[in-house]
A and B are shown apart, each in its own frame.
Chain A
Amino acid sequence: MTGGRPQQLEDLRDLVASLEPVVPAHERVLPVDPAVASLFPFGGLRRGTTLWIGGTAGATTLALGLIAGPTRQGSWVGALSVASVGWAAAAQLGVDLHRLAVVRADGPDWTVAAAALVDAFDIVLFGPDHRPARRDVLRIAARARERGTVVVAFGGTEQERAWPGSDLRLHIQPDGTARWHGVGRGWGRLIGRRLQVTISGRHGVDRPRVVELWSPGPAGVLDSPVTAPVTAPVTAPVDQPRRDTARILQFPAQPA
């Protein structure tokens, strides 16, 4: 009797797995704003995946802009270690602040809070104020995969190996291409910024590509002036420092 039970349980599990309806990948996607949908292989934030956004400057705006679409569609965002984020900017980028909760936790409490958020929220936003150990990051990713939560981590650079093992990595190019528009020497005001983002990752991104973006755009939200993906020269795979080489990029000199 007791010997048969584990086998029975195993059979039942197989049965349950075979009966569960298969959900196509595109149905498990939280849709982002249309202007930035082309950044993602599935047109949005895929449930159960980890997205990392990094670079020397610009990661915060990009991360807030990407969660804006899902919050307006009713997804809840739990944010952790984000003490320095300006939430007024988030509101201007289109984030529905009524769907956002911020948790303050550090030290041993951090993992407790992270686990609770990943279990229940649609999106969990991890800020740059706390750099978790590699072990914790992997554990969070595994839990998110199981619960269908999207983990969005931002901050840090590729060289610092921030958030190892993430499914999709958006890295803001550190080669002097980021430009602010609308401001001069004593006139105007900041209106928009153009960035180049390298997209690399595991699923649906066979080779890294570079996309140019307004982050934020003149309308205050993320916008894509040039959506044509430009193939970058072969770079090092994910999780390894990039060997920066001369790149062949052709972009219009002036913004659209």
Chain B
Amino acid sequence: MDASQQLRSLAIEVADFPAVATGRPSGTPVAVLHANRVVAVSPTARTSGVVPGLRRREAQSRCPALEIHSADVARDARAFEPALQSIEELAPRIEVVSAGRCVLPTRGPSRYHGGDRSLANLIRDRVRTALGSVAVVGVGVADGPRAAQIVAAESLRSGAPVVVGPGATATHLAPLPVAVLAAVIPLAAPTPAGTHPPSAPANGFADLLVRLGIRTVGHFAALPAPDVSARFGVVGRLAHQVATGTETVPADVVDPPADLVVATDVDPPIAQVERATFVAKVLADELADRLGVRGLVCTRVLVAIETVDGERLERLWRHEGSLTPSAVAQRVRWQLDGWRRGRVRHDDSGGVCRMELIPDQIVPDAGRQLGFWGGSDDATTRALRALARIQGQLGAGAVLVPEWHGGRAPAEQIRLVPLEAVDLSARADPPNAPWPGMIPPPAPARIWTSPRSVDLLDAAGTPVRVSGRGELSAAPQRCCVERGDWTEVDAWAGPWCSDERWWDATGHRRRARLQIVIATPAGHEAHLVTLESGSWWLEASYD
């Protein structure tokens, strides 16, 4: 049996899966945005001219009824879980590339279900049933998992499963443009811990090929393999194998020794996902330690979860680059979330009683050593362990870390974000971009979370206003907070006016801020008051 036979694979791709995962009915125009760019759209939105890559405003102008959703990797993973469960009965060892895309080896299942084509049809019907009529499902079979992904993308356009016969992959791919190779080969560095949706693959490689006069996959396949390796390195070698239909398991992948499998019996059984994730994090740490001492990283991990009802839920997770412990824990969380949602319908809720992490593909660590938080000292390790424990008890959202954000208002400059959403080994530094209209330092030490109304009067007893040219109507004389006692305004500075997002009908805000110092029996107190829509409110205090 030759290598190509062994790697014969079936790939499934769901068109615009992030839009499908929002769960909106088929007639609704939906767009999913990441970093203000459209990443996925529903068919209805596509007919209105909304395509991936547009800015939010442009997308809204093309389709005013457009529903905007922000990208959420966890939501996508949860939504994909029913589809995976439905095909799991047909074929084992499904490998999830990302939400909406998975690959499985066809050798055994095809033989059982009567050939590649009938397996492909069966799987497509199952996935469609599981995801609902909104989803457009492409299924492709070819020699090699990456070639199968290219064929599955082709199947999306034709609507029917595409099956490329054994040995015919190179001929089938030959007329396609070289850009398709870039789409299935990770060229850019993987996003840390899978916190963000994967960006569009950098197609510098494909661009370079086009500039060299190599326009189709066939042209590329015709190049001698050693030359491609010499010019483009590992990426080139991989792409060449896809183009020639000779994909093999990478030669440097070693069979993991049995003692790398980490498992734990959970007693008493865990019913909450939060706590199970915490257990998974501990396990993943242990796995990372064991791999680390051997100088290995894990690119594919099999997560097996057993429940008290005797069920066993297995899922393979792949990550180009390496799976960090937090990335593993996150995937366990997705797996459990999706699985529990499936269970609720079956009216069954057994707890988790055993969890195993089996490193499926491990490669020598080429540079990036597995460290949980980057180079960390003892205090950091202790602190982060305690935070993980708090997360395990109170939920992932309970622990926050400050992140620089930039902005005019004191509350906007730094945001508290959940610990999980931050790559602690590469924290952002304070931005040095100017913010015109920003209040000069010192920043107020207390920012009121709920606005408190302020009355600010001049000597004549009329409310103080700010003109359109940014001038005060009169000198403030006295003020009171929430109809309390009146106090004399000792000094004031400002106003600082800001006219933010004037192009945006809903986000537009015009504000004027004033530093006031009031004299109380205890001494000076300084506050930052804000005028918006004709009324003053207390935004922050220089406590």
B310 CB-CB contact with A under 8 Å: no
Q: How far is the CB of A249 from chain B (nearest CB, A)?
A: 14
Contact of B383 among A104, A120, A173, A195 (CB under 8 A): A120
A44 CB-CB contact with B under 8 Å: no
Which B residues are in CB contact (< 8 Å) with A84? 446-449
Give chain A's interface secondary structure class: mixed
Which B residues are in CB contact (< 8 Å) with A101? 383, 387, 399-401, 419
A185 touching B492, Cβ below 8 Å: yes
B379 CB-CB contact with A under 8 Å: yes
B397 CB-CB contact with A under 8 Å: yes
Q: How far is the CA of A75 from the CA of B523 in the complex (A)?
A: 34
B379 touching A76, Cβ below 8 Å: yes
Q: How far is the CA of A109 from the CA of B446 in the complex (A)?
A: 24
Q: How far is the CA of A122 from the CA of B386 in the complex (A)?
A: 12
A112 touching B394, Cβ below 8 Å: yes
Within 8 A of B (CB), among A96-116: 97-98, 100-105, 109, 112-113, 116
Question: Assuming A189-B493, A190-B493, A193-B542, is B416 touching A176 (CB within 8 A)?
Answer: no
B390 CB-CB contact with A under 8 Å: yes
B276 CB-CB contact with A under 8 Å: no
B543 touching A59, Cβ below 8 Å: yes
B190 CB-CB contact with A under 8 Å: no
Which B residues are in CB contact (< 8 Å) with A175? 522-523
A104 touching B443, Cβ below 8 Å: no
Q: How far is the CA of A53 from the CA of B377 in the complex (A)?
A: 30
Which B residues are in CB contact (< 8 Å) with A89? 410, 442-445
B48-60 vs A, Cβ < 8 Å mask (1 yes, 0 no): 0000000000000
A193 touching B380, Cβ below 8 Å: no
Which B residues are in CB contact (< 8 Å) with A3? none
B387 touching A57, Cβ below 8 Å: no
B413 CB-CB contact with A under 8 Å: yes
A216 touching B449, Cβ below 8 Å: no
Within 8 A of A (CB), among B5-33: none
B413 touching A88, Cβ below 8 Å: yes
A73-90 vs B, Cβ < 8 Å mask (1 yes, 0 no): 011101000011111111
A78 touching B523, Cβ below 8 Å: no
Contact of A57 among B379, B393, B493, B522 (CB under 8 A): B522
Question: Assuming A105-B398, A183-B492, A184-B491, is B386 touching A117 (CB within 8 A)?
Answer: yes
Closest to A97 in B: B402
Which A residues are in CB contact (< 8 Å) with B517? 180, 183, 190
Closest to B407 in A: A88
Within 8 A of A (CB), among B441-486: 441-449, 472, 475
A97 touching B398, Cβ below 8 Å: no
Q: How far is the CA of A103 from the CA of B31 in the complex (A)?
A: 34
A190-202 vs B, Cβ < 8 Å mask (1 yes, 0 no): 1111010000000
Most chain B beta-carbon contacts within 10 A, residue among A91, A174, A188: A91
A100 touching B402, Cβ below 8 Å: yes
Question: Assuming A76-B379, A86-B444, A105-B398, is B492 touching A178 (CB within 8 A)?
Answer: no
B414 touching A97, Cβ below 8 Å: yes
A52 CB-CB contact with B under 8 Å: no
B525 touching A120, Cβ below 8 Å: no
B542 touching A220, Cβ below 8 Å: no
Closest to B519 in A: A176
B445 touching A183, Cβ below 8 Å: no
Which A residues are in CB contact (< 8 Å) with B543? 57-61
Q: How far is the CB of B500 from chain A (nearest CB, A)?
A: 17
Q: How far is the CA of A78 from the CA of B196 in the complex (A)?
A: 27
B233 CB-CB contact with A under 8 Å: no
How many chain A residues touch B (CB < 8 A): the figure is: 62
B398 touching A185, Cβ below 8 Å: no
Within 8 A of A (CB), among B487-508: 491-494
Q: How far is the CA of A256 from the CA of B402 in the complex (A)?
A: 35
Q: How far is the CA of A185 from the CA of B489 in the complex (A)?
A: 9
Closest to A109 in B: B394
B372-415 vs A, Cβ < 8 Å mask (1 yes, 0 no): 00000101101101110110011001111110100000110110
Question: Assuming A56-B522, A180-B526, A186-B475, is B445 touching A100 (CB within 8 A)?
Answer: no
A116 touching B390, Cβ below 8 Å: yes
Q: How far is the CB of B526 from chain A (nearest CB, A)?
A: 5
A113 touching B446, Cβ below 8 Å: no
Most chain A beta-carbon contacts within 10 A, residue among B394, B521, B524: B524
Most chain B beta-carbon contacts within 10 A, residue among A60, A100, A103, A190: A190
Contact of B386 among A75, A78, A174 (CB under 8 A): A78
Q: How far is the CA of A96 from the CA of B278 in the complex (A)?
A: 28
A57 touching B383, Cβ below 8 Å: no
A92 touching B386, Cβ below 8 Å: no
A122 touching B379, Cβ below 8 Å: yes
B440 touching A189, Cβ below 8 Å: yes
Which A residues are in CB contact (< 8 Å) with B410? 86, 88-89
Which A residues are in CB contact (< 8 Å) with B264? none
Which B residues are in CB contact (< 8 Å) with A76? 379-380, 382-383
Question: Assuming A76-B379, A104-B397, A190-B493, is B390 touching A85 (CB within 8 A)?
Answer: no
Which B residues are in CB contact (< 8 Å) with A185? 475, 491-492
Question: Assuming A92-B443, A100-B401, A190-B515, is B394 touching A87 (CB within 8 A)?
Answer: no
A243 CB-CB contact with B under 8 Å: no
A188 touching B493, Cβ below 8 Å: yes
Contact of A75 among B379, B394, B447 (CB under 8 A): B379
Which B residues are in CB contact (< 8 Å) with A93? 442
Which B residues are in CB contact (< 8 Å) with A64? 445
Which A residues are in CB contact (< 8 Å) with B404? 97
B115 CB-CB contact with A under 8 Å: no
B524 touching A180, Cβ below 8 Å: yes
A187 CB-CB contact with B under 8 Å: yes
Question: Assuming A76-B379, A84-B449, A104-B397, is B491 touching A180 (CB within 8 A)?
Answer: yes
Q: List 6 A-B contacts (CB under 8 A).
A: A56-B522, A76-B382, A84-B446, A87-B414, A179-B523, A184-B491
Q: Measuring CB to CB, which residues of chain B are less than 8 angstroms from any residue of chain A?
A: 377, 379-380, 382-383, 385-387, 389-390, 393-394, 397-402, 404, 410-411, 413-414, 416, 419, 427, 430, 440-449, 472, 475, 491-494, 515, 517, 520-526, 540-543
The 6 A-B residue pairs whose C-beta atoms are closest, nearest first, are A178-B523, A120-B386, A60-B445, A76-B383, A88-B443, A89-B443
A61-B542, A86-B411, A98-B427 are known contacts; what are 16 more A-B pairs with Cβ within 8 Å? A57-B543, A59-B543, A61-B442, A76-B382, A92-B442, A93-B442, A100-B401, A100-B402, A101-B383, A178-B523, A178-B525, A180-B542, A183-B526, A193-B524, A195-B523, A220-B442
